[in-house]
Structure 1
Amino acid sequence: MNAPSPSDTSARGAHARAADSKLLGIYLNDHLAGATAGVLRAGHLARASSGTALGRDVGPVAREIAQDRAALLGIMRDLGVPVRRYKVCAGWAGERLGRLKSNGRLIRRSPLSTVLELEALRMAVEGKAAGWQTLRRLGAVDRRLDAAQLDTLLERARRQQRTLEDWRIREAEAVFGATRKQASGE
């Protein structure tokens, strides 16, 4: 059997790089769709809880989530990954449709809405952190990725996770603790 010629090997390498680039583009656009939904959801929660202790903590997180989305767009630009508008629209539509879920009340905002929104944001930030970790590892071989920037984004995501988790626990205890007390007649 003959060994592959250098031109065969370089053609396969170019094909693999193109496939890797295509997959990275899909991956980053999927994260962009999630980031779009996250910005909308965080902004909605910050507005709904404005003037409360929750609002004071979630407002800065919402602003950071918007900054993180802008950072992702910058990374995509640096990598030459085009934005797929249909995915951005899907993220927007998915977030809007998510607001239609039943929360036990028809007109007023339910306390359950806050718990569910905090859970959704917590999971979204966890996904974002996983994306930053993946890019950080890719940065070892792709010098277009700024390791310091990714470290900063990852640390910020971890801080956002802690804030959201603290509030999720508080709100869940307030909602379900009150329900338990009412059911037992306390």
Structure 2
Amino acid sequence: MDTFRHELAIYLNDHLAGATGGVELAHRLAHEHDSAELTGLARDIQEDRDSLLRIMTALGVQQDHVKVAAGWLGEKLGRLKLNGHLFSRSPLSYVIELEAMRLGVDGKAAGWQTLHCLSEHDSRLDRADLDDLLARAEAQRETLERLRRQAVTAVFVKSS
């Protein structure tokens, strides 16, 4: 597996950057909506990022602090969406943010699947741990999709 060490380091650091932005967004959503469900989701997403860091350490992959900072900054810049409200928060923002979280979780699951595949060739990767991470990503996807559908109804369906 040493042949692809450089490419794997780039790949894992790209996922770490995304995870960093995802953690920031998840914590912000949990805080803004004062939701126990979102708080639990944010905690799980933080734990997933921590798991990625442990995997990177086990594989001898160094963190690219520039990419991590870019992931953090990207989440901050993502707040500057023009959703029809200049000085206040648009109800549409929650829908967009849940969709962004859902896409992030799908990307994270793809990363876990990649590592699961590589575990056949590298004993430093624990297949059982990766199975657990994949299952948690699927549960997160289901939660986010349910919350997104609720938000879509609240924003786009007007009660008469």
The one-character-per-residue Cα deviations of 1:95-128 (angstroms, maximum 9, x if unpaired) are 1100011122233322111101100000000000
Residue type at the aligned position of 1:83: Q
Indicate the structure (1 or 2) with the bigger Cα radius of gyration.
1
The residue number in structure 2 matching 1:99 is 79
The residue number in structure 2 matching 1:148 is 128
Distance 2:5 2:66 in 1: 19
Count of aligned pairs: 160
Q: Do structure 1's residue 62 and structure 2's residue 42 form an aligned pair?
A: yes
Q: Do structure 1's residue 24 and structure 2's residue 8 form an aligned pair?
A: yes
The residue number in structure 2 matching 1:7 is none
Residue type at the aligned position of 2:118: L
- Give the TM-score normalised by the residue count of structure 2: 0.96
Residue type at the aligned position of 2:23: V
Residue type at the aligned position of 1:118: L
- Give the TM-score normalised by the residue count of structure 1: 0.83
Distance 2:45 2:91 in 1: 23
The residue number in structure 1 matching 2:104 is 124
Identity %: 53
Q: Do structure 1's residue 43 and structure 2's residue 27 form an aligned pair?
A: yes
- State the 1:44 CA deviation: 0.7
The one-character-per-residue Cα deviations of 1:56-102 (angstroms, maximum 9, x if unpaired) are 22110111000100100000000000000000011011111000111
Structure 1 stretches lacking a partner, 5+ long:
1-16
